[in-house]
Structure 1
């Protein structure tokens, strides 16, 4: 009895466990079937999943600046050499240094005046002596002329008195000329600025004795610089006097200038001509210095061209590409040529399909033929919308 009761209990337990497994195993299979049915389309094939969520935009017609790029050196408009006009004098004082702004007639340096002052005093004494001699000779000649009618003096003696008078007058004039020359030497002990400008170089040293004509300073006249741009002969006709140019130095400083003149000849080696662009306010633009190499763009006018957001252009394998959205939400990769830039937009110089929708956000992660999900572009924030638009930067030259 005990064994049969135990056997019956074991059989009942096995049947109960089997019933439980049967009930639990049926539910997952039903769920899997439901998922498989939901994943099938109308034709019974599985629906593909989008590779990425993107935003799209259409090309817009934007007014861009027509520019011509060029390179060249920055140089002084005119440079004046200030030298010594005195010979053998010691330099006693130097009042300016490199970078100082000076006015016309300002004293730049002073030579020791003692030697010149002594020469001036000697010249004045010689002049006084010559004038006294001339006065005496004039009196003798006057008395001789009064006695001419009486015959007390011969004609030869009268002529001698008159010659002595004229010689004395000539000596007075010579003494006056010597005094004037010495006074000029006295004024030359002060070295004066020949024009308004900026001191660009200084070789004057206190205590040195210099010869006449020795260079003491170099002066950038009126503080004006110019950009000497090299423009090829093929493009030279596009630039004219008065054309605006944006010059960017190696340090990144940007200056706006105007074409002052164009060289009448072309270099036979480089086939390029120099275009001289005035750069105003160089003292305020400390990033532009004479001797710098700079690049720039000449403004030739404006034109309307199709542009897309810069994020839509994907550089890949040495080419610029955009992704065009097809009606089936798949993208097609297209190589394009780009040109000028304006803020965050870039010009497309190659042809685009009519009504093309260009992928913007997410374009850099796509491949040709990918399926995408399109969403609307996020609206600009209220704080960004309240800010005034930034001025457009100078457009780069079209490639």
Structure 2
């Protein structure tokens, strides 16, 4: 009986202890689970959240020779163009050509209405004929009076009077002849002729239209005089000069570069856009080019001496400041630099602000702030398996 009671008490004690042990394991399991979740959360926050380190690739500043280039954008224009219009106000009678037509030097392009010009020319010719007849009569009369004066049959005053009549007749002939020549020139002016071989690019007036003196009826260009009016950044234009070789990419044919040469550097720059203007002549110009077509121009400047250089991708803008992110003790700090010319290989000359061996941020996967945590990696792109 006593042994049975003791066995019951032992079993009860054992069950109680097992319950207590089970509660402790549950708490321990929950604690371990919570700790694991906190560790995972912290790892995620520090590697992909706002507190994560910014991944960057870096490059060291080095000395190297640079083949600098100058890049600009331009439009194709005609060096020689002609505005064809009347020298006096009038009405357009006929226009014989249209836009795109090729014309030859001296070809009749358009004609103005002469109105009463033909009647004026008839009247002016009659006045010239009458003036020449009067001059002939005055000349014969003066000769006769001169002979009579030498024989003292008439007074010297009478001889001088006939000489004055002769001079007046000569003046009238000169005046009427000049008037007739002026009308003949007007007759030529009403006929608009091509000054050179060219192409019509604009037709600005139709028959029946009234135009004023100097107003263009047609526009003509010389197709052999095409060049590219190109704009270059003033801050990078040092070395721009006549004679530099150019590489031209036309918008209509981007896969076939064209050789060119700088034939003029304009003295007048664009002060608003801060650009210098140069004219580029194309060598072996294609026949398909059009006026106003865009072109990208790259000039090859003289090779520079050895100096500090960096990839252009490392140059950053912070407000009005130009600089790079330099690593010091593993932290990025913005360093202002002065840059020079660009090279064909994407390098840019560093004139001041850095020294050889400085480690500079090349690329980053997010915007960098001064002193923030970063992680230097070999590449920002994930390697494919």
Residue 99 of structure 2 aligns to a residue whose secondary structure is coil
Rate the CA distance shift 1:190–1:367 in 2: closer, same or farther, 3 A: same
Structure 1: distance between partners of 2:232 and 2:95:
43
Structure 2: distance between partners of 1:150 and 1:229:
85
Structure 1: distance between partners of 2:118 and 2:143:
37
Structure 1: distance between partners of 2:131 and 2:163:
16
Rate the CA distance shift 1:83–1:206 in 2: closer, same or farther, 3 A: same
1:142 alignment partner in structure 2: 143
CA distances 1:261-295 after superposition (whole Å, capped 9, x unpaired): 11235444444311211236667123x432x4432
Structure 2: distance between partners of 1:166 and 1:217:
47
2:383 counterpart of 1:367: yes
**Which residue of 253, 256, 259 maps to 1:256?**
259
Structure 1: distance between partners of 2:137 and 2:263:
66
**Which residue of 278, 283, 294 maps to 2:281?**
278
2:123 alignment partner in structure 1: 122
Query: Structure 1 length normalisation: TM-score?
Result: 0.54
Structure 1: distance between partners of 2:286 and 2:107:
19
Unaligned runs of 5+ in 2: 1-65, 305-342, 348-356, 358-378
Unaligned runs of 5+ in 1: 1-63, 304-338, 352-362, 371-399
- Given that 1:202 and 1:218 are in contact with CA atoms closer than 8 Å, whether structure 2 keeps it comes out as yes
1:70 alignment partner in structure 2: 72
- Given that 1:198 and 1:220 are in contact with CA atoms closer than 8 Å, whether structure 2 keeps it comes out as yes
Structure 2: distance between partners of 1:213 and 1:268:
31
Structure 2: distance between partners of 1:364 and 1:166:
101
- Given that 2:75 and 2:229 are in contact with CA atoms closer than 8 Å, whether structure 1 keeps it comes out as yes
Q: CA RMSD in A?
A: 3.5
Q: 1:113 deviation in Å?
A: 4.8
Rate the CA distance shift 1:131–1:200 in 2: closer, same or farther, 3 A: same
Q: 1:216 deviation in Å?
A: 1.0
- Given that 2:259 and 2:284 are in contact with CA atoms closer than 8 Å, whether structure 1 keeps it comes out as no
Structure 1: distance between partners of 2:133 and 2:287:
62
Residue 231 of structure 1 aligns to a residue whose secondary structure is strand
CA distances 1:370-390 after superposition (whole Å, capped 9, x unpaired): 6xxxxxxxxxxxxxxxxxxxx
Rate the CA distance shift 1:110–1:250 in 2: closer, same or farther, 3 A: same
1:97 alignment partner in structure 2: 98
Query: Structure 2 length normalisation: TM-score?
Result: 0.56
- Given that 2:87 and 2:214 are in contact with CA atoms closer than 8 Å, whether structure 1 keeps it comes out as yes
Residue 97 of structure 1 aligns to a residue whose secondary structure is coil
1:289 alignment partner in structure 2: 291
Structure 1: distance between partners of 2:117 and 2:132:
23
Q: 1:139 deviation in Å?
A: 1.3
- The 5 A counterparts of 1:342-357 are none
Tell me the matched-pair count. 251
